[in-house]
Structure 1
Amino acid sequence: MSVKAQRINQANAIASGVISAEIVDKKSQSIAGQFAKNVNIHGFRKGKAPLSIVKQRYAKQIQQEVEQEAVRESFQEALKELKIDQGQVLGNPAITKFERKGSEIEMEFKISIAPDVDISKLKSCVPEVKIQEASLKEIDERIDEIAKAQAPLVEAKDGAKLAKGDTANIDFEGFIDDKAFDGGKAEKFDLLIGSGQFIPGFEDQLVGMEKNEERDIKVTFPKDYQAKELAGKDAIFKVKLHAIKIKSTPKVDDELAQKVLNQADATMQTLKEQVKLQLKHEARNKLYNEESKPQFIDNILETIQFDLPDLIVEQEMNILLNNYARTLSAEEFEAFQKDSKKIEEKRDEFKEEAQKSVRITFIIDAAAKEYKIQIQDNEVIQTLYYESMMAGQDPKAMLEFYQKNNLLPAVKMAMLEDRILTMLLDEKLDASSAENAEGKKEEASKAKSKTEDKPKTAKTTKKTDTEKKPKASKEKE
């Protein structure tokens, strides 16, 4: 067996080889012999059938095994020539040529190799992070919001009309084609107008109702509504308004602080300090997600360069293409599937995005090893459960979807990326805050020193003038 291998770059290699007719024949004989020991052929005892009959009957299977063994051996020979071990290889080699010429086999395949990723400049990629302290006005506004949210509901006076922000206590029953449907009825139900809790159009049509008023509400269920038997259908809800509930005038005092913080000794000052911290945390998250992390990623991609394994980039392009295909309607997907040229063009459009994704993945993986950071499987599951519940979806169904489509590794990598970027941004923020605090301390010290060292010119001059006056008086005398 003759195999030649060479590196294209740090992360890619190509190998080619010729398996002679003699080796092919020898392998065929060996594999046919193994078949003969294990197969049952009518008219012969197990393992006693002539080799010629076994070869004839199982020719296709024998050929497949010969080819597979030839590829495996060629691959191992290529690794020896490249002086790399199996652990450095990413995935399986991609066979780009496999031809039978007579009894010989000619082959060529690509190998992707894990690149060496130098992250020594990673911290230099962290952008400047500055978070402005919350103003007293912002703190007071947030406390007012908290007070309003905590204020109990009271029934509005007779004659009041339902408005956005009010809570309507209603009976309702839904009908499609004059027939009531399951799940469309409730009594004495509290609905916050403007919350978007009901299907679009329902809450808006309640606005203006008065206590004890009855009204028919006409709506259309969304086409993607979770109950398929209702999706896209027109419905009429018969509604009766029992009461309009509004928020009472909120009290901003120590009692509010004690209730919100669940601390018996809490004061408004305590609440203000907590709100200040919360606003800072919110400002940090907003800055990180909208500005710092995207800038950090751009800096990383520009600064940390290395060769990318082609086969991994191509896999990522396929994933992005499949994700795109899932967004198409049934008609669009059918047309797209039939147009091979369009598929290839669309796939090529994802190349740059795929390269960025693969590069970041290698960098994050290297950083995770450097900083000893891991994401456990149970953390991934907990995150999916939380997000599905927040989105009003079935957590179990979402988890099964991610498992079935092998998406859990991507979620784990996204969580790992977020954790590492956040950690490094926090380090930068803490260092910046400490530097600012030290700078302010130094400025205050210098200002104090200047005040103490300042000559008391005005006072000295005044005293001298006063002392001179008596002398002038004596001269006059």
Structure 2
Amino acid sequence: MQVQETVSEGLRREYRVVVPAAELETKLDAKLDQLKGQVRINGFRPGKVPAAHLKKLYGRSAMAEAIDTTVNETNQKIVADNSFRMATEPKVTLPTEEAVVAEVIDGKRDLDYTVAFEILPKIEIADVRGVQLEKQVAAVADGEIDEALDRLTAQQKPYLPKGEGAKAAEGDRVQVSFVGTIDGKPFEGGTADDIAVDIGSNTFIPGFEPQLVGIGEGETRTLNVTFPENYGNTELAGKAAAFEVTAKAVQAPGTLVVDDEFAKQLGMESLAKLREAIKERIKREHDGASRSKIKRALLDALDEKHKFELPPTLVEDEFNNVWNTVTNDLKQQGRTFEQEDTTEEKARDEYRKLAERRVRLGLVLAEIGDKQKIQVSDEEVSRAVVDRARQFPGQEQQVWDYYRKNPQALATLRAPIFEEKVVDYLLELATVTEKEVSKEELFKVDEDEA
């Protein structure tokens, strides 16, 4: 076998490989010998099928397997001999001319192919000890707890019938059934029965709720509205529609006493315990925002300290993922780059830089984690699967089976756990000072934050 390097440019390597026909023939004979004891052919005892007959029946398929095995083994040897760390899977280019392929398969011609590798760069990890980082923290104010309790109360608020002849007003709830049409024709998703509409909640299409003011129980009226341009269903976005609505009941909000009894209805011992639970939930939200900001600052510092050539395919794949997300979001919202105060060219440039940053940081974090022997245990991954399954009530077993049977899907859960553990390690090395800020400052999103 001959292996000759033909390209060595940056992170790209390419080799020409020539495998003599005689070598392939030897591998073919070995595969046929394996088949001898496995196949059952009428007229022959097990293991006694003549090699010539086996070759006649299975020669071409066995040779194809031999070629596939040879290519894989050769590629692995090239990687091992050169101590390559692969950025992507090798790209193999086999002969395509029908006559040439036939001669190789029939053992009459050497196998001559090329294989291209994209390798990872050698990364020199900068010293991150003593990096100055600011950790923003915000105490949970009583006002936040009160606001959260008010929202919870609003969700639990009872609605009582307004009585015979009563008309709906702002803040009331109307139980309705409706049929929606566009240009006189019903459309998918435009019909519903016994739907609760809280007038003034702005949860329905703009213009729908205000037109229910003054409606009475048993009354039917037609509401004319226009779907927003950025409506989620693009087939309905921007279109005018008419809804024939019948009010089944008109209800007014009742009073709700927020006391220990109310807390017990929610499974808490007392109102004080309910407030403690709300405070703890808000604190977790604050901690999450604080962690996100200091992690961003840490990644900024890492990005600044590390500059090296990036594998082009990894960058291109990451850019395509980001770009597809951006363009799909714009399409769903019915917006253009110009409406976002930019151009497609400028946006492409910005998101390509973002893709480069993500690839660079991903490689740096992986290198640090590898050198520090940071591992993600099976138990940690299992907990992540359980957490994921809980997001789909009633489908927990299906979610569990999906991840158990799909190693690639499981890797998508393992990767963020690994990243957070590396970040924890780096934060221990950094010099972190806490800064008390307001809730608004803590949750403020920087314009350049990605």
TM-score by length of 2: 0.59
Q: Tell me the equivalent position of 2:3.
A: 3
Partners in 2 of 1:423 and 1:411 — Cα distance? 19
Report 1:275-294 matches (<5 A).
275-289=278-292, 291-294=293-296
1:131 partnered with 2:128: no
Partners in 2 of 1:81 and 1:182 — Cα distance? 61
Deviation at 1:145, TM superposition (A): 4.4
Residue 28 of structure 2 aligns to which amino acid in structure 1? I
Q: Tell me the equivalent position of 1:31.
A: 28
Contact persistence 1:2–1:19 (CA under 8 A): yes
Q: Of 177, 196, 199, which residue of structure 2 is paired with 1:193? A: 199
Residue 81 of structure 2 aligns to which amino acid in structure 1? E
Q: Tell me the equivalent position of 1:93.
A: 90
1:75-117, Cα deviation, whole Å (9 max, x unpaired): 3542453256xxx5565422368798x9666554333556676
Between 1:204-213 and 1:150-159, the stretch displaced more is 150-159
1:207 partnered with 2:213: yes
Residue aligned with 1:14, SS? strand
User: Judging changes above 3 Å, is the alpha-carbon distance between structure 1 residues 89 and 115 closer, same or farther for their aligned structure 2 residues?
Assistant: same
User: Judging changes above 3 Å, is the alpha-carbon distance between structure 1 residues 28 and 263 closer, same or farther for their aligned structure 2 residues?
Assistant: same
Deviation at 1:360, TM superposition (A): 3.5
Residue aligned with 1:262, SS? coil
Q: Tell me the equivalent position of 1:71.
A: 71
Q: Of 165, 172, 179, which residue of structure 2 is paired with 1:174? A: 179
TM-score by length of 1: 0.56
1:300-344, Cα deviation, whole Å (9 max, x unpaired): 333345665555445545656776897899xxxxxxxxxxxxxxx
Count residues in correspondence. Answer: 395
Deviation at 1:399, TM superposition (A): 9.7
Partners in 1 of 2:221 and 2:155 — Cα distance? 29
Partners in 1 of 2:169 and 2:260 — Cα distance? 31
Q: Tell me the equivalent position of 1:452.
A: none
1:392-419, Cα deviation, whole Å (9 max, x unpaired): x999999999999997357425642674
User: Judging changes above 3 Å, is the alpha-carbon distance between structure 1 residues 235 and 426 closer, same or farther for their aligned structure 2 residues?
Assistant: farther
1:418-442, Cα deviation, whole Å (9 max, x unpaired): 7448857997999746x99xxxxxx
Q: Of 212, 216, 223, which residue of structure 1 is paired with 2:222? A: 216
Q: Tell me the equivalent position of 1:376.
A: 381
Report 1:18-417 matches (<5 A).
19=18, 23-28=20-25, 31=28, 47=50, 49=52, 64=64, 67-68=67-68, 70-83=70-83, 89=86, 92-95=89-92, 107-112=113-118, 121=127, 127-156=133-162, 162-168=168-174, 170-174=175-179, 184=191, 186-187=193-194, 190-195=196-201, 201-210=207-216, 213-218=219-224, 236-240=243-247, 242-248=249-255, 251=257, 262-264=268-270, 266-267=271-272, 275-289=278-292, 291-304=293-306, 308-309=310-311, 312-313=314-315, 316=318, 352-365=353-366, 366-367=368-369, 370-374=373-377, 375-376=380-381, 379-380=384-385, 382-383=387-388, 386=391, 408=409, 411-412=412-413, 415-416=416-417
Partners in 1 of 2:219 and 2:240 — Cα distance? 26
Partners in 2 of 1:198 and 1:397 — Cα distance? 33
Contact persistence 1:5–1:78 (CA under 8 A): no
Residue aligned with 2:28, SS? helix
1:436-469, Cα deviation, whole Å (9 max, x unpaired): 9xxxxxxxxxxxxxxxxxxxxxxxxxxxxxxxxx
User: Judging changes above 3 Å, is the alpha-carbon distance between structure 1 residues 275 and 206 closer, same or farther for their aligned structure 2 residues?
Assistant: same
Partners in 1 of 2:407 and 2:350 — Cα distance? 23
Determine which structure has greater relative contact order: mean sequence separation of CA pairs < 8 Å that are 6+ residues apart, divided by chain length: 2
Residue aligned with 1:243, SS? strand
**Gap regions ≥5 residues in structure 2:** 101-107, 332-346, 437-450
Residue 244 of structure 1 aligns to which amino acid in structure 2? Q
- Higher Cα Rg: structure 1 or 2? 1
User: Judging changes above 3 Å, is the alpha-carbon distance between structure 1 residues 405 and 379 closer, same or farther for their aligned structure 2 residues?
Assistant: closer
Contact persistence 2:24–2:63 (CA under 8 A): no
Q: Tell me the equivalent position of 1:442.
A: none
User: Judging changes above 3 Å, is the alpha-carbon distance between structure 1 residues 408 and 30 closer, same or farther for their aligned structure 2 residues?
Assistant: closer
Deviation at 1:154, TM superposition (A): 4.3
1:352-393, Cα deviation, whole Å (9 max, x unpaired): 44443333434454549755445525634743662x67xxx9
Residue 209 of structure 1 aligns to which amino acid in structure 2? I
Contact persistence 2:389–2:395 (CA under 8 A): no
User: Judging changes above 3 Å, is the alpha-carbon distance between structure 1 residues 129 and 429 closer, same or farther for their aligned structure 2 residues?
Assistant: farther
Residue 92 of structure 2 aligns to which amino acid in structure 1? I
Contact persistence 1:14–1:108 (CA under 8 A): no
Q: Tell me the equivalent position of 2:443.
A: none
Residue aligned with 1:130, SS? strand
Q: Tell me the equivalent position of 1:462.
A: none
Partners in 1 of 2:200 and 2:148 — Cα distance? 20
CA-atom RMSD in angstroms: 6.0
Contact persistence 1:6–1:13 (CA under 8 A): no
**Gap regions ≥5 residues in structure 1:** 330-345, 437-477
Deviation at 1:206, TM superposition (A): 1.5
1:194-226, Cα deviation, whole Å (9 max, x unpaired): 556656654343134355644233567899769
Residue aligned with 1:263, SS? coil
User: Judging changes above 3 Å, is the alpha-carbon distance between structure 1 residues 297 and 395 closer, same or farther for their aligned structure 2 residues?
Assistant: farther
**What fraction of aligned residue pairs are identical, expressed as a percent?**
23
Residue aligned with 1:128, SS? strand
Partners in 2 of 1:33 and 1:180 — Cα distance? 65
